[in-house]
Amino acid sequence: MESLKDLGLETSVETREDFVNFRVNPRVVVYPRSEEEVVKVVRYAYENGLPIVPWGAGTSLTGAVSCEGCILLDMRHMSSILEINDVDWFVRVQPGVNLEFLNRKLMERGFFLPPDPASFFLCSVGGAVANSSGGMRGVKYGTFRDWVLSLRVVLPTGEVVQVGEPFRKNRAGYDLVHLFTGSEGTLGVVTEIWFRIIPLPKEKMISLLSFMPDLDSTAGVIQDMRRAGILPEIAEYIDNEVIVALNTQLSAGLRESRGGLLILRVEEHDLEKMREILGKWHGETSILSDEEWERIYSLRAQSAIALKAMAKEMYVEDIVVPVSKLVEAVRRLKELEEKYQVKMPVIAHIGDGNLHPNILLKDRRMADELFEEVGKIAIDLGGSVSGEHGIGLQKARLMGLQIQRHSGVKVLEIMKGIKDLVDPRGIMNPGKYVELAYKLMKQGQNE
C-alpha cells in the first residue's frame, strides 16, 4: 500500500477484533485527521476497487466492521466538538468524539443528547450514528435516528455531500439523513454530524429499584405502566444471572433475586401510581438516592461486560417485540433455554420491548441455530430482529426474513437498489447488511 503512504497519511498494519470477537484483518489501517484525508483514502479505494470499512470504537456486536483485506478507516483522530449552539439547539461534531465526553460538555451548558447506549463510555458518536444505536433512555427519547439533524458524508466515489439541515422542520426532498443514519458504513463515511440537543430536564426524577418474583411479573409491570400513561425516562431489567455476574466481576454487592431486578426512573408526579403497580405484581421496591442511582446506572451499563468475562462463548442477542407481546416472548425464550440446555441471561430495555438474551455457550456448534430461533421469536410476534445493535454479518438472513414477512420482497429490492446506486463499485463495507440479506434471499429463491 505504498501509494497511500505517498498521500501523506498515517497508517499501520494490525489485526483487530470487535466486542464479540469478529475478526478484523485489514491490509492497512488509515488514521485520517480531516475530511480532506478521508476523501483521499476513499478515492484511492474507489479507483483501485478496494473494500473500505469505517471504524469507530470497535463496540459492534454483529460483525459490522469485520473485514478481510480491506482498508480500515480508523476515525479516532477526528474527535472535535465543532460547535454548541444554545439558540438553535444543536451540537456539531466530528465522528470520533466519545459520547460520554460529549454529554459532559453539553451538560456544562445545561443541555444533553439523550440516547445512551450501554457502551456510552466507550463508543464514538460516528459509530452510534452508523448503527442508529439506542440505549437505556430509549423508552422516552428514542434512538440516535431521532436526534440526527444533518450529516456530511464522503460517498464511495469520493464525492462529499451534506444531507439534512441543522433545524427540526425541513420538508425539502427525500429524507436522506435517515437513509445514512443506521446504514452501518455501507453507503459512505460520515465526517460531520449535527445532533439535536435539548435542555436538561427540570422535572424532579425519582429512581426506583424493584426485585421482582419472575420475568412474567416484570412484563406485567411494564404493560400496566403503559396503560396508566406513565412514560419513564428509564425502564431496565437484568435477571439473576446478570446480578451474579455483576457481583462476581465488579463486586456490585447486589442482592440476588430469582425474578431479577427492575430499574426505573420516573417523574415525581408518577411515583405513587408506579409504586401501586409494582405492589400489584409483588415487586420489593426501594427509592434510590442520587448517589445510589449513579452506581446502579453504571452497573447496568457494564452488565454485558460482566457476563462476557464469565462466558467461554457469548452471543449478544437484540430483539424487539411489541410491549403487548412481552409475556409471550419471555415464555418462548424460556422454552429455547430448555430445548438447547443453555443459559440465556436477559438484559433488557424492557420499557420499549427491547430484549437482549445473552446466549452463553460452551462451544459454538449450536450457536447459529439458536441465534436464528431467538430472532424468529421477534419476527413471529410482529417485532424486529434488531432494535439497536444493527445487522452486520450476523443478522443479515434474519433481517431478510423479517422484511419479506412484514413488508414484502419489493422493499428489500428497493434497499438493494439504493446500495447499488450510491456505491456502484460495491466497495463500502461490502458483503454485509442489505447487500448480504438480498444475496441470501436470492439464494433461497433459487434452491
Per-residue DSSP letters for 210-267?
EE-S-HHHHHHHHHHHHHTT---SEEEEE-HHHHHHHHHHH---PPP-TT-EEEEEEE
Cα distances (Å, whole numbers) of residue 202 to 163, 212, 267, 270: 33, 30, 10, 15
| CA gap 360, 342 in Å, rounded | 7
The model carries a pTM of 0.94
| CA gap 316, 361 in Å, rounded | 11
Report the relative pairing of strands 148-154 and 189-196 from DSSP bridges. Answer: antiparallel
Enter the C-alpha cell of residue 228. 396508566
Cα distances (Å, whole numbers) of residue 396 to 3, 19, 298, 410: 34, 19, 32, 16
Q: Please list the pLDDT of the chain residue by residue as tens digits (447 residues).
A: 557 777 888 999 999 988 778 899 999 999 999 999 999 999 999 999 999 999 999 888 899 999 999 999 999 999 999 999 999 999 999 999 999 999 999 999 999 999 999 888 889 999 999 999 999 999 999 999 999 999 999 999 999 999 999 999 999 999 999 999 999 999 999 999 999 999 999 999 999 999 999 988 999 999 999 999 999 999 999 999 999 999 999 999 999 999 999 999 999 999 999 999 999 999 999 999 999 999 999 999 999 999 988 887 888 899 999 999 998 998 999 999 999 999 999 999 999 999 999 998 876 677 888 989 999 999 999 999 999 999 999 999 999 999 999 999 999 999 999 999 999 999 999 999 999 999 999 998 876
pLDDT value of residue 409: 97
Could you give the angle at the alpha carbon of 185 between the alpha carbons of 182 and 188, nearest 5°?
A: 110
pLDDT value of residue 388: 94
Enter the C-alpha cell of residue 40. 483521499
The answer to whether the CB of 379 falls within 8 A of the CB of 402 is yes
3-state secondary structure of 205: strand
Which domains, and CATH codes, for the chain?
A: 1-200 (3.30.465.10), 205-394 (3.40.462.10), 397-446 (no CATH)
The answer to whether the CB of 310 falls within 8 A of the CB of 248 is yes
Q: What is the DSSP letter of 78?
A: -
Enter the C-alpha cell of residue 38. 478521508
pLDDT value of residue 2: 54
3-state secondary structure of 288: strand
Q: Quick one: CA torsion of 80, 65, 245, 297, rounded to 10 degrees?
A: 30
The answer to whether the CB of 313 falls within 8 A of the CB of 281 is no
The answer to whether the CB of 104 falls within 8 A of the CB of 122 is no
Residue 126 CB-density burial (10 A; 0-12 exposed, 13-18 middle, 19+ buried): buried
Residue 115 CB-density burial (10 A; 0-12 exposed, 13-18 middle, 19+ buried): buried
Enter the C-alpha cell of residue 431. 458483503
Q: Which residues contact 231 (CB under 8 A, 6 or more apart)?
A: 139, 140
In degrees rounded to 5, what are phi and psi of residue 228? -80, -5
Nearest CA to 15 out of 50, 51, 84, 65 is that of 65
The answer to whether the CB of 373 falls within 8 A of the CB of 388 is no
In degrees rounded to 5, what are phi and psi of residue 292? -65, -40
